[in-house]
A = this chain, B = another copy of it.
Amino acid sequence: MNEYSFIKGSGVHADSKEVVINSTKAKTGEKYRRILEAAVSVFARKGFHHSTISQIAREAGVADGTIYLYFKNKDDILVQFLNYKTKQVFSGFRESVNKADNSIDKLRNLVHRHLEEFQRDRNMAVVYQALAHQNHKSIQEHIREMSKMYLDIVGEIVERGQEEGTMRRDLYLGLVKRFILGAVESTINNWVRSRREYDLVSMADPLIDLFIRGIGNPETNSTAAERSVP
């Protein structure tokens, strides 16, 4: 848990008929955040299904029932997590991309920021990784949405790179986008599972290098290109 975690915003869940939290009360917002942080921390340690409301409540320093003043049910905690925390992180990526003025630097900024944010909040990283690979019904759509946002950014970067002439024109764009997201995510996944602690952000440049140049030796090898999808 750290000071950067979670937005300052309100602890309101809009679609509840019974419970509406007054978002102007500082205390309320604080409790909302405490619960969410606690929940993500417990989820990260035990996994969603092995986490109990009581554990979360204890870790947040509130009563079990209090959680239901801020969240519709256990699943809703996950939904809020994606809505307020992860979604914010992801949408921040665009900002980083805009700071660069050529496509390769944009890609570098994107990946750098991505790794940075997830390193900053390891619990988020753990939970996000698990969610993204599961069939959790109430979550599926959110994940898809966030992926799309990310893939769109990458797509724009690559297309721009092709216009700039810094990226190959014979790319299967749909694959490339997923390829890059997948590679970054798996890098995060490795970091999360690793017993050793290492600096995740330092992986950014080597990753970019692999994206751009591949692993092949351009002087000797051209076979792959010949078989590639045009």
Contact = CB atoms under 8 A, between A and B. Distances in A.
Contact of A212 (B181, B187, B193, B224): B224
Interface string A119-132: 00000001001101
A167 B104 contact: no
Interface residues of A, number: 62
Interface stretch (A1-9, A29-37, A83-91, A200-208): A200-208
Given A18-B54, A212-B221, A218-B218, A179 B168 contact: no
B224 A209 contact: yes
A211 interface: yes
A189 B179 contact: no
Contacts of A63: none
A46 interface: yes
Contact of A214 (B46, B132, B210): B210
Nearest to A184: B182
Interface string A189-230: 110010000000001011111111111111011011101110
Contacts of A46: 135
Given A130-B135, A179-B186, A181-B186, A168 B216 contact: yes
A136 B47 contact: yes
A209 B224 CA distance: 5
A203 B181 CA distance: 16
Interface of A: 18, 44-47, 49, 54, 104, 126, 129-130, 132-136, 144, 158, 161, 165-169, 171-172, 175-176, 178-179, 181-183, 185-187, 189-190, 193, 203, 205-218, 220-221, 223-225, 227-229
